[in-house]
């Protein structure tokens, strides 16, 4: 079956929602060059492909849980009940929990995939979806967020502030804390978020480059890219850029940390723009494309989401950044997204740009699909707003 027929089939299921923003956006610097209907078709094609081939009964660790953050955004946009059931089934399978240890004295926050690594952020991203599902529940069943309240409540009661020692962790946990603040009204979640972020920012942010190192191992000049320069990993910075958008969505502007988050978000936007390749993607090592050349989808999708969120909420100028998204979405929807719905060119699980690593159209992963859905949902909102102008 041709790509045209696949898109036509996906469009049929999305037609009613797309009707409100199926036209082209207003002319000028803000033009993206795609319709809302086409965006919905691409999202449907990718998400239905993934769910048809991946049972929801998967663990609650970061790789799967990050997908569900995108699936929930796709549901909130479309109201597709099948997508909501998929995330609900996943949450029920995991008993609305994370790493399962109940012995707090044994809880760890270094890297680990075992039951006692409860304080390790890669086990906490699942709470984002649990909280979203709780918020959608008219009965507000407390069991859905009980583990999130227990774990993060314990964590913010400790004296430590070094929980986020790697860039990915900012996406995994920062939005959990703002979401819990909105549920509970407890300002400690925001205050501790600020403390934890300051540690991570001091450790990983490069003021001159406006970007984040993946972790302390990669800080220049102790570590250098293949050309001898600074080595910023695309997906690592993608996690941070998307995290800042998600935090700003829920953080009260009156909170003392708000200004810093805006500054970092806007600095990253400026730094990422010149690193984009002509085809629309970002290479795995942002400032050294030759270290690991070629297409990469996960970082590109997170950047696309961040740019769109920033434009949608007035933090980024549309004339400056709509051309960036025009290219990146063209790559994501026309090159990375295959005719059958597989999202390709996703770098496998890792922590850096690896020279010689094969990343091709067959390379896909749950977190990449989640990032694509985040970008698509935000693009649809952008187009709808432009159509109303």
pLDDT at 37 over 90: yes
User: Mean pLDDT across the stretch 12-28?
Assistant: 42
Give the HSE-up count for residue 261: Cα atoms under 13 Å, Cβ half-sphere. Answer: 32
Q: How confident is the model at residue 19 (pLDDT cuts 50, 70, 90)?
A: very low
User: What pLDDT shows up at residue 278?
Assistant: 98
Position 79 scores a pLDDT of 98
**Could you tell me the pLDDT band of residue 4, with boundaries at 50, 70 and 90?**
very low
- Cα–Cα distance, 247 to 256 (Å, whole number): 13
Average pLDDT of the residues in 133-151: 98
- Of 19-23, 97-101, 339-343, minimum mean pLDDT range: 19-23
Pairing of strands 211-212, 205-206: antiparallel
Region 26-42 average pLDDT: 85
**What residues act catalytically?**
168
Q: Is residue 134's pLDDT more than 50?
A: yes
Structure tokens, 344? 């390709």
pLDDT of 233 strictly over 50: yes
Q: Tell me: pLDDT of 30 over 50.
A: yes
* Beta carbons of 32 and 63 less than 8 angstroms apart: no
More confident residue, 144 or 10: 144
Phi/psi at 160 (5° precision): -70, 155
Average pLDDT over residues 188-212: 98
6 pLDDT exceeds 60?
no
Q: How confident is the model at residue 216 (pLDDT cuts 50, 70, 90)?
A: very high
Question: Tens digits of per-residue pLDDT, 293-315?
Answer: 999 999 999 999 999 999 999 99
Selected from 1.10.580.10, 1.50.10.10, 1.10.390.10, 1.10.260.30, the CATH number assigned to the domain covering 3-388 reads 1.50.10.10
The answer to whether residue 2 scores a pLDDT higher than 60 is no
Residue range 258-285: average pLDDT?
Answer: 98
Residue 28: per-residue pLDDT? 52
Check: CB of residue 133 under 8 Å from CB of residue 83: no
What pairs with residue 49 in β-bridges? none
Assign 98 to helix, strand or coil. Answer: coil
CB atoms within 10 A of CB 122: 23
Alpha-carbon distance of 230 to 318, in angstroms, equals 29
Which residues contact residue 15 at a Cβ distance below 8 angstroms, ignoring those fewer than 6 apart? Answer: 37
* Element of type H or E holding 86: helix 81-93
Summarised one tens digit per residue, pLDDT across range 116-126 is 999 999 999 99
Ordered by start, the domain boundaries in the chain are 3-388
Average pLDDT of the chain to the nearest whole number: 93
Residue 45: pLDDT above 70? yes
- pLDDT for 389: 86
Mean pLDDT of 3-11: 42
Please state at what angle helix 366-388 crosses helix 36-53, rounded to 10 degrees. 160
- What's 347's DSSP letter? P
**What is the Cα–Cα distance from 182 to 178, expressed in whole angstroms?**
6
Comparing 11 with 56, the larger pLDDT belongs to 56
Q: Which residues of 208-228 are buried (b: 16+ CB within 10 A; e: fewer)?
A: ebbbbbbbeebebeeeebeee
Overall average pLDDT of the 27-36 stretch:
81
Predicted confidence at residue 3, as pLDDT, reads 40
List, in order, residues 6 or more apart from 243 with CB less than 8 Å away.
Answer: 170, 171, 174, 175
Query: pTM higher than 0.85, yes or no?
Result: yes
Cα(40)–Cα(13) distance, rounded to whole angstroms?
9
User: Using CA atoms, how far apart are residues 60 and 63, in angstroms rounded to an integer?
Assistant: 8
Res 1: pLDDT: 37
- Token digits of residue 345: 């060119």
Residue 187: HSE in the Cβ half-sphere, 13 Å Cα cutoff: 5
What are the φ/ψ torsions at residue 215 (nearest 5 degrees)?
-165, -175
pLDDT attached to residue 23? 39
> What tokens does 232 get?
């910023």
Q: Which of 99, 187, 189, 185 minimizes the C-alpha distance to 153?
A: 189
168-190: buried (b, 16+ CB within 10 Å) or exposed (e) per residue?
bbbbbbbbbbbbbbebeeeeebb
Report the share of the chain in percent with pLDDT over 70: 93
Enter the tokens of residue 90: 């996943």
What's the Cα-to-Cα distance from 183 to each of 30, 158, 297, 316, rounded to whole Å?
35, 21, 33, 28
How much helix, strand and coil, in percent to the nearest 5, is found in the chain?
A: 60, 5, 40
State the DSSP string of 299-340.
HHHHHHHHHHHHHHTTSS-HHHHHHHHHHHHHHIIIIIB-TT
* pLDDT over 50 at 7, yes or no: no
Confidence grade of residue 163 (pLDDT, cut at 50, 70, 90): very high
């Amino acid at each position: 079956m041709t790509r045209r027929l696949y898109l036509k089939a996906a469009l049929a299921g999305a037609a009613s929602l797309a009707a409100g923003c199926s036209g082209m956006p207003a002319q000028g610097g803000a033009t993206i060059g795609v319709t809302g209907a086409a965006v919905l078709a691409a999202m449907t094609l990718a998400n239905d492909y993934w769910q048809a081939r991946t049972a929801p009964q998967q663990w609650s660790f970061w790789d799967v849980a990050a997908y569900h953050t995108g699936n929930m955004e796709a549901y909130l946009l479309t109201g597709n009940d099948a997508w909501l059931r998929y995330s609900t089934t996943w949450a029920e399978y995991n008993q609305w929990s994370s790493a399962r240890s109940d012995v707090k004295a044994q809880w760890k926050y270094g890297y680990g995939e075992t039951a006692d690594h409860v304080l390790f952020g890669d086990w906490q991203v699942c709470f984002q979806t649990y909280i979203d599902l709780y918020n959608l529940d008219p009965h507000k069943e407390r069991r859905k967020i009980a583990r999130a309240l227990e774990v993060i409540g314990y964590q913010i009661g400790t004296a430590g502030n070094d929980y986020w020692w790697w860039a990915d962790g900012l996406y995994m946990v920062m939005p959990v804390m703002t979401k819990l603040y909105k549920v509970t009204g407890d300002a400690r979640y925001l205050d501790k978020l600020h403390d934890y972020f300051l540690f991570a920012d001091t450790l990983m942010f490069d003021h001159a480059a406006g970007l984040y190192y993946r972790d302390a191992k990669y800080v220049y000049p102790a570590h250098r890219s293949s050309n001898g320069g600074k080595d910023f990993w695309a997906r690592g910075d993608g996690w941070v850029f998307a995290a800042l958008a998600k935090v700003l969505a829920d953080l009260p502007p009156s909170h003392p940390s708000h200004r810093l988050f805006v500054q970092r978000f806007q600095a990253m936007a400026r730094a990422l723009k010149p690193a984009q390749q002509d085809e629309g993607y970002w290479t795995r090592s942002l400032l050294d494309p030759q270290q690991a050349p070629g297409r990469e989808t996960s970082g590109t999708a997170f950047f696309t989401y961040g740019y769109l969120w920033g434009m949608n909420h007035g933090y980024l100028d549309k004339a400056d950044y709509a051309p960036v998204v025009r290219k990146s979405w063209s790559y994501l929807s026309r090159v990375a997204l295959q005719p059958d719905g597989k999202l390709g060119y996703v770098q496998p699980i890792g922590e850096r740009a690896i020279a010689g690593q094969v990343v091709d159209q067959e390379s896909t992963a749950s977190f990449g699909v989640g990032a694509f859905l985040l970008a698509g949902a935000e693009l649809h909102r952008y187009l709808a707003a432009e159509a109303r102008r």
